[in-house]
Chains A and B, each alone.
Chain A
């Protein structure tokens, strides 16, 4: 029995003057209308929210009530920045196992209720608090910066190559009305922006955003019974790695992504990703993360990620357009919303509803790649239509 995505919704990402539950509802109502269903037909709600920066400390039931799903679950899911994908998997599993026919996934985050230094102190705990942040003041940019310096030393990757990822992201986001950033930037602007954690500068980093995304999932039977329009799950891969960065095998690749990709590719019988997908959404919380993702997902050889962006291979018209809606980098990265927003992008593109950002479809197949923390969690979903 296949499982499909039959409705998607996404709020405007950015600094938003609304509560967690209000922004969640923006995505939920859009997803329900998109599926042409109401709360009544939903068997199970799954709420993904990291919730460490918003005023509700146990937000699952608050969000669930506001969106009209009281009694339908809810299951609360947390997997750092990969919360959205873990929530999608939870809803998928429920349908796949026959427990529910139609379920909704809500990924939501309010990140702007605390100031930047407090946000940095919370994000810096996205590893192993006692051994890293407590002693050494790790921040989330610092974790990825340590991957950037390792990648630069090992492969000669440059700050300019990283800047090109940001330039592409902003160019795409400028055509996406729901993106946090609405304006294009230049390589020079990225390179001259203030240093956050060397070598990462302000424009190498995803912004601190509020946002929500929702997706309605249904069994093949429900798709037929209700006459729904589905984008199908073809394969899923996942893995994880140590909480302590010092326990990793190296700092220029994320093992969890390599394993998740291998599992997903095997499940969908994919040997050459460049000849199998029309586009991809990858986890670009920082520019270096996208370069490492090209390599770990097999879009290019290890160490060649910098060249891949330089040659425009991940842009429209390249070998595989990546992050067509602006990515985490410029669309925004409201933690738990991100994984579900990736599904939103996949569904819009595969239905050819992406407007100015529409990619040319040949394979009618695409992937999402969502990391939690610094490769602490990794998820790869393959969708087809």
Chain B
């Protein structure tokens, strides 16, 4: 015998004020990492370096090398607005970046980084073959 629980809707308001430049950048076609005077680079970006200093913003540009990918066929509940999708991780100098790609990219291939809205209306990182 089954009893249904009362419904709980869970949606968080995520404070990204200190790293707002990242979201602003996405809308302008730019992907930013943060760097610190001490030599550390961060992607995903963070406002605080572990050394205690505040970080600075640097745009990720140029050519990335694909290090891994998958194509998701069993789609999680909050992504049911689209079909199957390809997640790719590519290395750009000292950082690795996660993004989506519409092309059948392979490990070792060169890609460019760009930003675009997905079908749910969220700006994010995409990769294209160079």
Q: Which residues of A contact B (CB under 8 A)?
A: 55, 115-118, 120-121, 123-124, 128, 130-133, 135-139, 141-142, 145-150, 153, 194-200, 244-248, 250-251
Contact = CB atoms under 8 A, between A and B. Distances in A.
A145 B107 CA distance: 13
Contacts of A197: 70-74
Most A CB within 10 A of own CB, among B72, B108, B124: B72
A117 B75 contact: yes
**Which are the 7 A-B pairs with shortest beta-carbon distances?**
A145-B70, A121-B76, A153-B107, A137-B79, A120-B76, A121-B77, A246-B96
B51 interface: no
Nearest to A131: B44
A139 to B, nearest CB: 5
Contacts of A141: 72, 74
Interface string B85-112: 1010100000111111000001110000
B89 A146 contact: yes
Contacts of A117: 75-77, 80
Nearest to B82: A137
Most A CB within 10 A of own CB, among B43, B70, B87, B125: B70
B68 interface: yes
Given A146-B87, A149-B107, A244-B44, A135 B76 contact: no
A142 B124 contact: no
Contacts of A118: 77
A132 B77 contact: no
B69 A146 contact: yes
Contact of A121 (B78, B87, B108): B78
A312 to B, nearest CB: 29
26 contacts: A55-B5, A118-B77, A120-B74, A121-B77, A121-B78, A121-B79, A131-B98, A135-B122, A135-B125, A136-B85, A136-B98, A137-B72, A137-B78, A137-B87, A139-B72, A142-B87, A146-B69, A146-B70, A146-B87, A146-B89, A149-B107, A194-B73, A197-B72, A199-B70, A245-B98, A246-B97
Nearest to B89: A246
A149 B70 contact: yes
A196 B74 CA distance: 5
A7 B125 CA distance: 52
Nearest to B74: A196
Contacts of A55: 5
Interface residues on chain B, size class:
20 to 34
B98 A132 contact: yes
Contact of A136 (B68, B73, B108, B124): B124
A125 B41 CA distance: 24
Given A245-B98, A246-B96, A251-B68, A139 B89 contact: no
B96 to A, nearest CB: 4
Given A55-B5, A131-B44, A251-B67, A153 B108 contact: yes
Contacts of A132: 98
Given A121-B76, A150-B107, A136 B67 contact: no
A138 B99 CA distance: 10
Nearest to A113: B5
A126 to B, nearest CB: 12
Contacts of B85: 136-137
Contacts of B98: 131-132, 135-136, 138, 245-246
A247 B71 CA distance: 21
Contacts of A139: 72, 74-76
B77 A136 contact: no
Interface string B5-34: 100000000101000000000000000000
A132 B88 CA distance: 11
A198 B77 contact: no
A138 B87 contact: yes
Contacts of B89: 146, 245-246, 251
A250 B69 CA distance: 13
B99 A136 contact: yes
A141 B72 CA distance: 8
